[in-house]
Structures are given as structure tokens and as C-alpha cells.
Amino acid sequence: MSTTIATSHNFPPAPPRNKRLSIGIIGSGNWGTAIAKICGENARAHGNHFRSKVRMWVFEEEIEYKGEKRKLTEIFNETHENVKYLPGIPCPSNILAIPDVREVTRKSDVLVFVVPHQFVDRVCEQMKGFVRPNAVAISCIKGVAVNKQGVKLYSEYITERLGIYCGVLSGANVANEVAREDFCETTIGYNPDLGTSVSAEMMVALFDRPYFSVAAVKDVAGVALGGALKNIVSMAVGFADGLEWGGNTKSAIMRRGLLEMQKFATMFFDSDPRTMVEQSCGIADLVTSCLGGRNNRCAEAFVKTGKSLQQLEKELLGGQVLQGAATAADVHELLTSRDLVKEFPLFTTVYRIAYEGMKPEGMIQVLQPPVEESENEFTTETNDD
């Protein structure tokens, strides 16, 4: 039985013209601009559902452009291209770059969050008091906040700060590939049973494109956790790449990792375990990350070069945080506080390799079933009688 509640095949009926939704994008990095491009295309394509103008909040900065210093918003509104964060990709002309997040907020029925997770609190604080009464939100922010007290989704943060319902979008979605319109799938976690003012079908209509296939499920936590926990597994596969282990071994790591992702989601959120295996936010995102994402690359370099993860962050990620290692540390703190470390051997092993000096070769022990102390079941006994 599928967990899907809405896809592009059950397109919503057209609402009255005065009920068309206004869309606001909160964020304008490469992923934010790619999402804005999708929403801009759909706002034009489905005029009965959405108002044409899509407002994108852009953190204002001056950049060098054609020999002079100019504001990024002015360049975007003139060229319809984010020349700093998504160069070479033309965006629809109905997307308007706006430097004031409050203006975007007060003019939007659907707020799409695509900001780095460390800025969520700060941005929401600026938005307070400007949110429309029946507005809803979608978080495209990958990751979750984990500490020994528990696990919190960034969609929950947004709901708490702004008092509006917030769903989640996550999947095997590399921003530059999406912007180039390479085909991919994604998953929206959205529970209409909680009394949201916008249907799941309408949310799918906002994001679904011929190159961006969207399915919606009610399991918001499962969608969010898939995008966070897969980074730990990606590091494990990266360690295997560094050791030059073969495809069979790496497939075994992915399978074990997927099981631990399911177990974590069901243990802490009562998530539907099918989400991880049926939806892009689970198995597809996991495979994509393990085949060459930043966590995979850094973990491979960690084994081959002997450099610290902190040094590799600077060299390979420009100082950005290595999410797999950070998430492994946060998850380990939670599991330790709940005496659950033994329940998640692969997650624990990644943490120990990254932070406690465990040799990566020791990971193979995690893949082997435990040896039972009981008598070997294959021993043949003889009866002399």
C-alpha cells in the first residue's frame, strides 16, 4: 500500500479567481533560486490556481557585475538570472527579487523556506507580525536539529515561530541539476488532516514540473529525517570508497544505513517506515548522496589523506559544515542519553571514525551478523542407540 496522498495525476480543481494563491520564496541561494524557477513556471502555467507574480526574498549584497558594483536584486530583476548563486540559468520574468523579507511575507499565501538552517530563527523573527492569517509554509531546508533532549524538525521551528502550518519538501534534488531541468523526483511531507488552508493537491501543483516529479505524503517527519540521516550513511560509503572497497560492500552499507534511518524515524516520530523505501526523500536521496555527494567526497578524502575533517571542510567545502559528521555527532549525543547506542551500530561507527579515532577498517564488523554463543545449528549429532 502506497503512502502517497497526492501526485500530479490528481490535479486540484480550479478555485475561484479571487482565491488564487500568492507565492513567496524565502531564500535565494542556488537551491532557493532553482525552487523559485519552478514556482515561477507553475504560477504562469496554472493561472487559475496561483497569482502570476512570485516574490523571492534576496539577502541584499553588492557584487561586481560587468565592471561595476551593483545590488544583486537589481541585477536579478534586470537580467532574470541569479548571477552569483545560479549563473547561466534563466529564470521566468514573473519572479521578482525583493530585499525586504517582511514585504515578501505580508504579500504571500504560501511561504517556501529555502534558507540555511542556521538562519531560520533570525529570519522568522523578522517575519513575525507580517504573516497572513491563513498562510501556510513549506520547508525545503534539509536536516533536523538533534541534541540529547530530542529531535526537532525545522518545519516545527517555523510553525512555533510564526504560528502557521509548515510541511517539508525533500528528495534526490541536486540544485544545479534541477535548475538544468534534468529529470528528478521529490517528496512533499504535508498533512491536510491538521486543518491547513491549502490542500496537498495544490501544493503538488505548485512544484510539479515535467522534469520535477512530485508526490505528497502525510509523513512529514519521515520526509525531513530522510534528508538528514542519509548524510551519515553517505559518510560511511565515503569511508568505504577511501578504503577501495567494492560495490557489494558499499551496497551492504547502504542497506544497513537505510534500515537505521527507518528505525530512527519510527522510534522518535512514529514515522511510516514505507516513506524511506517508497519515496524520493528516502532511498533515492540516500543513493544520490552515496554516489558522490559532499559527505561522501569528504569521507573518502579523510581516509586517503589522513587530514582532519575540519581541514577537509576548509579545503573541499569552503568552510561549510560537513553535515554528515555534524549530524552523526548530534545523533550520537541523543542515542547516548537514551542508552540506545547499540541499536544503531552504523550511525555509531561513523561517529567513532569521525571523532574518536576508530580505524575505518573496523566498519566491516558492523556489516557482519553477531556470532551467537549457542551451539552451531549445523552440527550433526549421531545417535549410537
Binding residues are: 27-32, 59, 119, 142, 175, 294-295, 323
**Alpha helices, H only, 163-293:** 175-179, 200-207, 220-242, 247-269, 274-278, 285-290
User: Active site residue: 218, 230, 250, 263, which one?
Assistant: 230
Contact predicate 239/302, CB 8 Å: yes
Give me the amino acid identity at 217.
V
Query: Any idea how long the chain is?
Result: 385
| Distance in angstroms (rounded) separating the CA atoms of residues 225 and 276 | 9
230 is catalytic: yes
Phi/psi region, residue 66 (left: phi>0; alpha: psi -120 to 50; beta: rest), is left
Nearest to 330 by CA among 346, 348, 357: 348
**Residue 254: other Cβ atoms inside 10 A:** 23
Q: What separation in angstroms does the CA of 196 have from each of 163, 166, 308, 358?
A: 12, 9, 46, 48
Query: Residues annotated in the binding site for NAD(+), as ranges?
Result: 27-32, 59, 119, 175, 294, 323
| Distance in angstroms (rounded) separating the CA atoms of residues 165 and 370 | 45
Query: For the chain, percent helix, then strand, then coil, each to nearest 5?
Result: 50, 15, 35
Contact predicate 283/255, CB 8 Å: no
* DSSP collapsed to 3 states, 41-104: HHHHHCCCCEEEEEEEECCCCEEEECCEEEEHHHHHHHHCCCCCCCCCCCCCCCEEEECCHHHH
> What SS3 class is residue 21?
strand
Active site residues: 230
